[in-house]
Every structure is written in C-alpha cells, then in structure tokens.
Structure 1
C-alpha cells in the first residue's frame, strides 16, 4: 500500500485494506471493496473532490456508467446527474502515468455523443482538463461551477 502516487488533488479519506497482497479501496459511491488500481486511485480522489469542493453530491454520481456505442458496451468512469436526473458531467479517469492526449479527449467526446452532458472532465490525477460543450463546440474551462 506504500506505492500510491501523490495526486494533484486533495487527499481523500479512503478506506484501504489488503488481502493476499492485493490492495482494495471501499468505493465512495458503490460502497463495496474494489481492487485499487492506479486509475481507481484517481477515480476515488475525483469523487471526493467533486463532492467536497464543488458540492456534487455523491448520491447523484454513477461510477462505470454503461453507455451503448456502435453496439458496444462502454463505461464512463463517473457521470454526475443534475436535479432533473439529466447527465450533467462526464469524467474520464486515467492512471497517473497515462498522458492526457487527443486520444483521451476523443474517448470522452465519443462517450458524450451519447450522453450530451454540458461538461466533460479528463484527469490522470496530476493534470485535469475541463471542457464545456456549447452548441457542439468544445470549450476549455479553468474550473467547474459549484452545485
């Protein structure tokens, strides 16, 4: 459990455990033990950050939200829903060693073509990019609005 990368996010209060030399984290949304991969480390910190700093209630977040795309089942890492239960924010998490490049942006744009959220966020825990979608234009933003 000592090889966890320090992220460019507030430290989340996570419940970690170890079984047979495998580290688990209790998911803040699913409330069950999940194998702690580098991507999951980022995802749990982003859930904590969205909830604690932007008031994005965990009760309106879905993790590994299924999206049908070209007859394939894809999964968005985090989807946040507004008060009317419409998708509002889609988040794509990558491990800290994964570069956030045009392929990652293409992935989230592809997923969002089915969800039509006004906001998209990509993060590897070190770098974070926020985008707003206005009239089919993708505009980079500095921050998210609080809920």
Structure 2
C-alpha cells in the first residue's frame, strides 16, 4: 500500500483467498484492505496514538439516515455524553479532495451536529471547526487533543 502522510503505525494483516485484510481495532475484526480502508485505519491510529482519544469514544463505518437516504460515515469520535465531537470523511489516496467532499461531509453534519470535521485522502488532511450560528466552518491547523471534561 501507498505511504501516507501519517506517522508509521503497526498494523496486523492477514492473507485469505488472495485478499489482504487489515485488523480494525475499533470493529475488532479483519477488514479487506482497500485504498480507502488503508486511509481509515491510519486515521484511527492517528486518533488513538497522536490525539489520545479512547477507543470507547471512536466508531467506524456506521449507517446513518439523511433525508430518508442511507449513508455511511467513515469515522466518528463521540463526546462522553454521546454527542458527536469529530466527524471524519476518508477518501482513497488517488481521490482529490474537492469542494464536493466538503459538501458531502457538511450534509452529513447537518444531521450529526459534530463540532469538528476532518477530511483526508491520507495525503492531504483538512480540519474544520463548525460555526453553527453562522452556518459555516473555519479551517484549523490541527484537531484538538483529547481532554477529559
């Protein structure tokens, strides 16, 4: 797999029926390794190792309904009260991050009401903080570290 713009992390891999799988610590199972999954697993390790978020507050690849349509988010970090703190959209490295990507995560966030957003293709990372009052987001240099409230 391609080198991404993250620190080096230790991953567990498995070969089965000529397919490589990677172990997802959050879902506690092996997932077929696609370019997008490679990015998603780096994001999970980034949250755990760099930002110190507890595993218990991270959720990966769940379905949500938006305007009656089933959509799937990549990674979410919850607040201890169950509200969403960070919503993360992962793309494969060959996918350019464009306005459409930000529009997608903004649509998801109209339902989810996350305070922070991250969009990444593993090479380029964008971090935003929501301003719900003015219905816009502000770009940040980094996501906040985990802190116990």
* 1:107 pairs with one of 68, 80, 104: 104
* C-alpha RMSD over aligned residues: 0.8
Q: How does 1:15-26 map to 2 (within 5 A)?
A: 15-26=12-23
Q: Which runs of 4+ in 1 moved over 6 A?
A: none
Matched with 2:9 is 12
1:133 alignment partner in structure 2: 130
Q: Please list every run of 5 or more consecutive structure 1 residues that lacks an aligned counterpart in the other structure.
A: none
Write the distance in 2 (CA, Å) between the matches of 1:22 and 1:79.
27
- Checking the alignment, whether the CA contact within 8 Å between 1:61 and 1:79 is kept in structure 2 is yes
**Superposition pairs of residues 1-147 of structure 1, within 5 angstroms:** 4-134=1-131, 135=133, 136-147=135-146
CA distance in 2, matches of 1:140, 1:16: 35
Tell me the distance in 2 between the aligned counterparts of 1:103 and 1:30: 28
> SS where residue 63 of structure 1 aligns?
strand
Count of residues paired in the alignment = 144
* Structure 1 length-normalised TM: 0.95
CA distance in structure 2 between the partners assigned to 1:95 and 1:137 by the alignment: 26
Contact 1:67/1:73 (CA < 8 Å) preserved in 2? Answer: yes
User: SS where residue 82 of structure 2 aligns?
Assistant: coil
Q: How far is 1:65 from its partner?
A: 2.3
Deviation at 1:28, TM superposition (A): 1.6
The range that moved more, 66-75 or 118-127, is 66-75
Question: Is the partner of 2:37 in helix, strand or coil?
Answer: helix
Structure 2: 5+ residue runs without aligned partners?
none
